Structure 1
Amino acid sequence: MAELEKAVFAGGCFWCMVKPFDSQPGIHSVVSGYTGGHVENPTYRMVTSGTTGHTEAVEITYDPEIMPYRELVQIYWKQTDPTDAGGQFADRGDSYRPVIFYNSQEQKEAAEQSKKELQESGKFKDPIVTTIEEAKPFYPAEEYHQDFYKKESAHYKRYSIGSGRAGFLSKHWNEDPAEN
């Protein structure tokens, strides 16, 4: 087995960023949390106040021999609106901004290449504004946020549809809303 690596992605509400990665081969864990800010050990309340500089994100521990980083980035794009820098769907503000946080030069290059390819594909008429930033300390969110789609499946499904995420993914990525 290869040495496990970590990938960190922010794409709006972290509840909706766990399920798409959780069942993929080579994924060992997907943890909801906070990163990118200037406060140690922030809480959900602190992050959503907009004063910590953190964004909601997921930290994925994976086996790169089974699930290459580039494939993780492709899954990531299909969970987001990469043209919206002000948040994602109904969730607005910096704590919901879309970011790919890289942990190595190889991750940075793969993310930048993938972003360039998406921009050049013409899939979106607006520019791809998702930022690619060096990873900062990652702080796991409170336990009730972990695996939310499993613990509170009805609430999760209502949120995914009500926020506009499921409809957007269906329209732009041909993703089945029932899967999100």
Structure 2
Amino acid sequence: MKKKEGSAALLDTGFFHADPHPGNLIRTPDGKLAILDFGNVLDLGLVTKLTDDQKYGMIEAIAHLIHRDYGAIVKDFVKLGFIPEGVNLEPILPVLAKVFDQALEGGGAKNINFQELASDLAQITFDYPFRIPPYFALIIRAIGVLEGIALVGDPDFAIVEEAYPYIAQKTISERA
């Protein structure tokens, strides 16, 4: 698998490995990222592929998050399976807006901590018809591990900031 910038590999190919710790990854001499261990992860469902709708829905949701368009994010969440079809979105919107405002506090999207954001979103599931789809739980796991590895090498690493040029380009090309 070729090394992509930020989260582009997930959003380009839809394929991801949800257990990307340093023992499962190696950098090849030509700078590509190789995944070494598919062993039991195939049996555990830790390697999966997103549908095109899920990939494009995530790209749109990230773009909406960056622009703080929470009304659009709530609709994205319906498309992505976080909120069931037909649910009244009005009561959920202010709760999600509060969670996202907290996540964006102190530097905008580039400072989002995905583990904290996932935890805050999980809390919403107790009071609202909101759920974390299994595929997204695996994405959060993978992003959390990769973000942690990156932060060891660069304490100023910001995954959203790294992914933003890709997201912007993808959003523009999809609308063209």
Same fold flag (TM > 0.5): no
Q: TM-score, with normalisation over the residues of structure 1?
A: 0.25
More helix by share: 2
Select the structure of larger CA radius of gyration. Answer: 2
Task: Tell me which of the two structures has the higher relative contact order, counting C-alpha pairs closer than 8 angstroms and 6 or more residues apart.
Answer: 1
